Structure 1
Amino acid sequence: MRLVYRTWKPVTEPSGRVLIFLHRGHEHSGRVAALVSRIAGPGDLCFAWDARGHGRSPGVRGDAPDFMALVRDLDAFVKHVVQTHGVDVEDIFIVANSVAAVVTATWLHDYAPRIRGVAMAAAAFSIKLYVPLAEPALRLGLKAKPDLKVTSYVRPSMITHSKHEAEAYASDPLVTRDISARVLVDLADTARRVVADAHAIDTPVLMLVAGKDVVVRTAPQRAFFDALSSTRKQWLEIPESKHAIFHEEETQLADAACRHFIEVCFANALPEPARYLDNDLEGPSATLHATIAAGVKRPGLSNRLQRALLRRIGHLSDGMKIGLTQGFDSGASLDYVYRNRASGRFGVGAMLDRGYLDATGWRGVRVRKVHTQALLSELIRTAPQGATLKILDVATGSGRYLLETLAGFKQTSFDVELRDMDPANLAAAEKLATQLKLGDRVQIRYVQADAFNPPEQDADASLFDIAVVSGLYELFPENAPVFASLKSIARAVRPGGALVYTGQPWHPQLRQIAETLDSHLGGAWVMRPRPQNELDALVQMAGFKKTATEVGPQGIFTVSVARRIADPHGNG
């Protein structure tokens, strides 16, 4: 989808600062033009877009496939600005209002961009719907009518004291009062997730809060702000302001706060990636991991019952049987989940298996596979024609995601090295390669090796064009071995080569999984979701620079691509 946006170029010597302004729901970029003139400096390069379904951008008014589509749009827009205008992402500051503030917060959490900072005004983490049971009613209505829309109850006088601004809003033909019920419900779910896991965000944040806001609640904004790991953050409540903080009668306080915060953010460097190395030992994610690990010894009644039932009848499901015998996080278990064909004993086993395969996490794993294959395919398509591509998979499991991808490129030659600790996984990969009939154009070496203790590289060996590490680092809470593994991968990848890596920044069922399922390593499957900014920092310190990220359902899994820089131990 092609979206409309506006550009304000510097009128003096360029400052190097890039400001992106994101409008409220229902509105468009023209509504922030006055704000740009009040906040931006004369040397700043500024942008504002019309979100899909708003202003002059295409799409059904107030609609999107889901809320995450708006987040993906923001990621794509920032990439466009970086690539088209030759700016660095670290020189970008975002000013976002209302729903756009939640879009930005979700982008910060899921994609972890290293931007300079954000100003969030009246962030719509929780919208006051007023009608009793409105949210359950919307969810029920969507089952009957998937394209259900609602019309905003908000009158212009409810969002600003300014009669001029209220009249301008009411008479603007590009303002739409419609909003998709699907987006509204998805917004509520995503906002709850991001507020609950806000400690994963450490971008500098200015929170502007309206004291007379009748549209959104203040408490979730406070909870989000308090949980932020940002070393630079500021809370400013404007007592007499209504929801449209930047369209009030008096905007001087908000404007001045934004200008000052922007100056401070650009006057100070972003945190060095090395600060993340000890996150596995201290900080919110380490504390949560320790709490869940301790709770395994005293599981809750519900989880004790689930665990007992799993061991009593789980063997009837083929998928659960693999998990019970080899570990639910094993390569064999993941390969079964990838295939997604329910089977089991006595009829009831297949029914149990279907429910097992449809679990939230396993659905996310299958989307992760799709994203991994899509990013791999893009790397292969854009590689120089005629050359044999050298690919390394450091923890291949059955190799399904890679081998299936290679099967789709009939005219390309590959030199592939599949590594895994388990000989059974390598045997499964070899069997799959035979089934896929890859032929002579794909030369494969099967190497038994530990991703955390890889074989020494032959000094004369040519380096790999692409390395893949999928579904591995999520299983290990410690950063030191992950960092060491990434550094070994950097030594094996040529400068300019690519690394495809997966992450798990968040999971909604950590305690349930730890108290009911076993790991292939033995004992309970206790996960420490590694925030995306932490994982990206380890990748950067190892010698790579991230270029892209795809995010799965509910933000549970991510797949990213990074390019190898010239110095494998640099911080670039």
Structure 2
Amino acid sequence: MRDVIALHFATHDGVELFYRHWPAMGQAPGKTRQAIVLLHRGHEHSGRIAHLVEELDLPGFDFFAWDARGHGQSPGARGDSPSFATTVRDLQTFIEHIGASHGVEASNIAVVAQSVGAVVAATWAHDYAPRIRAMVLASPAFKVKLYVPFARQGLALLRRLKGNFFVNSYVKSRLLTHDRHRQVSYDSDPLIAKAISVNVLLGLYEAAERVVADAQAIQVPTQLLISGADFVVHRKPQEQFFERLGSLHKEQHILPGFFHDTLGERDREQALSRIRRFVLHAFEQPVQRPALLDADRVGATCAEAEALAAPLPRNSVRDLYWRLTRASMRLGSSLSAGVKLGFDTGFDSGSTLDYVYRNQPTGRGGLGRLIDRNYLESIGWRGIRQRKVNIEELLRLAMQRLRDAQRPVRIVDIAAGHGRYILESLKGVEPLPESILLRDYSDLNVQQGSALIEQLDLDEIARFIKADAFDRDNLAALDPKPTLAVVSGLYELFASNRMVGDSLAGLAAAVEPGGYLVYTGQPWHPQLELIARALTSHRGGQAWVMRRRSQAEMDQLVEAAGFRKITQRIDEWGIFSVSLAQRLP
């Protein structure tokens, strides 16, 4: 029997989560440490999956298992979390903690997760593109069987009326497993919470739909175990996820007669033997991922962008719908200042983004302000504002790291718009950077950004010039050499990886070794067709067609230029990511 150590780790917001650690047995000195991270079902905790440590029979591996926020011995209201995305970020923080405190790198970790935990793992793999060795998903709860017609819509309506509340699980232990001992222990376990908050439940649904729809973006070698007689979750979304999965190595197993507690079933050795084989094989191979540097010329997001750029059949239902949408937006622009600015300068312009950041509804009369408020509250603009918050956080982190290393802070932003997120990130920062160089292609942005510098009394350290963010030689010749480069909201607007690669190569030549790069990405967007069919870009009023880059693709481009990714932030909808990377020697 292995020893188990009870520990805690601090999450990104300071909450101390409980976890168990089972050190490897008989590990040879100097051998690279390898680990399995176990993620429990919803309502449960790490003690409910502790049996897997012995039963998987992998003595050379460390095992780790947490109690997710609001579960088991971790704090928080039972079954609750600030959001489902918070739990996903908790997992990212947990993996970082395991690396920092236990010396196990992500590339030497496999994740074995069940039910809600499996959706957490899949969402994390999609949004953060971790370089883990493998992932096993057992009966992922991509779609819970609610049985009551329109239950999800009803829950969403009630939340709008009364705020967050809790829903009790209908599931009985006899519907989870045929193992009588597991049934009894489930019914008597005081740490099991039968309630789940509606915030977490609806967030689970939203994340699951997004991940199943865009599973092609997941590159992690994945084994999927489907319970053949599952009364709790639907099978079809699991099968759709597997069909779309972008992993080079993937396998699916349907286990006849198994109830939802796949890894706690009476005959679970059928599942465990498959997991054991899959994990051992994964660790015998080097970490492998599909090469994505040419994803702009072949692949899912290339085809998606081409479909969005193609004209619709004249007078088809969809053509009429989008013509009506464009007409209504044109009408709205006569009242809403934000919509008018979008048509005048481009909905992707620096001026539009600065307006979205300020978030102050403006228009003609009460109706104009109402239209403008609705416009500013669209999910894309909410994501943009959260992106600004995340950029400022990582900018301050990078500046602090430079100061800790006793290095100067020299910032360059190669497509700054009005530069608001750079300049506002300096609030409370002491000492201020030695220099800030803001660049943009637009005369208007240079003019407005220069005025903002003067308004904030930063003339002595900051200046704004007109320059091309894709001119590799011009970027490489930056003098003085920056120690912190920023690229925000730029690469998402251009489909070509060659252009992005040239820009990153120029920055790599400019940034001193050990310096930092803050970069953004857009791995997902729920309004791509609205944007392509109804909105115009800054490029001469052309249609604003975006090609999404998965987080894995964006990270590969940055890595190819000579940077190493350190950490990442992403909004709760999975739309806009912000990452921090360090220039390698």
Give yes or no for contact 2:475–2:503 (8 Å, CA) kept in 1.
no
d(CA) in 2 for partners of 1:119 and 1:243? 15
Offset at 1:303?
A: 1.4
Q: 2:336 aligns with which of 317, 324, 334?
A: 317
Instruction: Give the AA of the match of 1:8.
Output: W
CA-to-partner distance for each residue in 1:364-393, whole Å, 9 max, x for gaps?
Answer: 111111111111112223332675410110
TM-score by length of 1: 0.95
Q: CA, structure 1 residues 300+182, in 2 after alignment: closer, same or farther (shift >3 Å)?
A: same
Specify whether residues 184 and 287 from structure 1 end up closer, same or farther in structure 2 by C-alpha distance, changes over 3 A only: same
Q: Corresponding residue for 1:235? A: 252
1:106 paired to 2:123: yes
Q: Identify which range, 443-452 or 552-561, moves more after superposition.
A: 443-452
- Within-5 A mapping of 1:332-347: 332-347=351-366
Please state how far the C-alpha of 1:170 moved relative to its aligned partner.
1.2
Give the AA of the match of 1:9: P
Partner of 1:366, secondary structure, is helix
Give the 3-state SS of the residue equivalent to 2:170 in structure 1: coil
* Alignment deviations for residues 181-202 of structure 1 (CA, whole Å, 9 cap, x no partner): 2211111111111111111111
Q: 1:451 to 1:243 in 2, by over 3 A?
A: same
SS at 1:242 equivalent: coil
Q: In the alignment, does 2:556 pair up with 1:556?
A: no
Q: SS at the partner of 2:50?
A: helix
CA–CA distance in structure 2, aligned partners of residues 425 and 261 of structure 1? 53
The 3-state SS of whatever aligns with 1:276 is coil
Per-residue deviation, 1:315 = 3.5
Matches within 5 A, 1:75-114: 75-114=92-131
1:484 to 473, 478, 502: 502
Q: 1:387·1:413 contact (CA, 8 Å) conserved in 2?
A: no
Q: Give CA-to-partner distance per residue, 1:202-235, whole Å, 9 cap, x none.
A: 1111000000100111000000110011110000
Please say if residues 495 and 547 of structure 2, whose CA atoms lie closer than 8 Å, have aligned partners that are also in contact.
Answer: yes
Match of 1:555, SS? coil
Moved more, 340-349 or 49-58: 340-349
Change (3 A) 1:319 1:2: same
The two structures, once aligned, show a CA RMSD in angstroms of 1.8
Alignment partners' CA distance in 2, 1:459 and 1:134: 60
Partner of 2:392: 373
Q: Counterpart in 2 of 1:27? A: 44
Rounded to whole Å, the distance in 2 between the matches of 1:492 and 1:375 is 20
1:272 is displaced (CA, Å) by 5.3
What is the alpha-carbon distance in structure 2 between the residues aligned to residue 312 and residue 405 of structure 1?
A: 37
Within 5 A, what are the aligned runs for 1:162-177? 162-177=179-194
Which residue of the other structure, out of 471, 485, 498, is the alignment partner of 1:467? 485
> How many percent of aligned residue pairs carry the same amino acid?
45
Task: After TM superposition, give the deviation of residue 494 of structure 1 in Å.
Answer: 1.2
CA distance in 1, matches of 2:480, 2:343: 41
Q: CA deviation at 1:143?
A: 2.9
Show the 5 A alignment for 1:468-547: 468-522=486-540, 523-547=542-566
Which residue in the other structure is 2:22 paired with? 8
1:241-272 CA-partner distances (Å, limit 9, x unpaired): 11111111111210111011112211222235
Amino acid at match of 1:7: H
> Are 1:430 and 2:450 counterparts?
yes
Shift of 1:311: 2.6
Q: Which amino acid aligns with 2:386?
A: V
Shift of residue 419 of structure 1? 1.2
What is the number of equivalent residue pairs in this alignment? 563
Equivalence for 1:279: 295
The alpha carbon displacement at 1:459 in A equals 6.6
Q: What residue is the counterpart of 1:51 in the other structure?
A: 68
After superposition, the C-alpha distances for 1:155-203 in whole angstroms (9 at most, x for unaligned) are 1110111111111111122222121122111111111111111111111
What SS is found at the alignment partner of 2:384? helix
**Does the 8 Å CA contact 1:209/1:238 hold for their aligned counterparts?**
yes
Instruction: Tell me which residue corresponds to 2:11.
Output: none
State the distance in 1 between where 2:445 and 2:425 align: 18
Whether the aligned pair in 1 keeps the contact of 2:472 and 2:505 (CA below 8 Å) is no
| Maintained 8 Å contact 1:160/1:248 | yes
Within a 5 Å distance, the mapping from 1:216-231 to structure 2 comes to: 216-231=233-248
- TM-score, structure 2 length as denominator? 0.93
Partner residue of 2:436? Answer: 416
Contact map agreement 1:71 1:106 (CA 8 A) in 2: yes
User: What is the aligned partner in structure 1 of residue 415 from structure 2?
Assistant: 395
Relative to structure 1, the CA distance from residue 487 to residue 297 in structure 2 (aligned partners, 3 Å threshold; closer, same or farther) is farther
**1:350, CA displacement in angstroms?**
2.4
Whole-angstrom distance in 2 between the partners of 1:161 and 1:427: 70
- 2:7 aligns with none
Residues 181 and 352 of structure 1: CA distance in aligned 2, closer, same or farther (over 3 Å): closer
Ranges in structure 2 where 5+ consecutive residues have no aligned partner: 1-14
Change (3 A) 1:40 1:91: farther
In 2, the alpha carbon distance for the partners of 1:434 and 1:40 equals 65
Go from structure 1 to structure 2 and tell me whether the alpha carbon gap of 1:432 and 1:167 turns closer, same or farther (over 3 Å shift). same
SS in 2 for 1:74: helix
Structure 1: stretches of 5+ with no match in the other structure: 567-572
- What residue is the counterpart of 1:201 in the other structure? 218
1:319-339 Cα offsets, whole Å, 9 max, x none, are 122211211111111111111
Deviations 1:274-320 (A, max 9, x none): x1011111111111111111146755322111112223441332212
**Cα deviation, residue 454, structure 1:** 4.3
> Does the 8 Å contact 2:221/2:247 carry over to 1?
yes
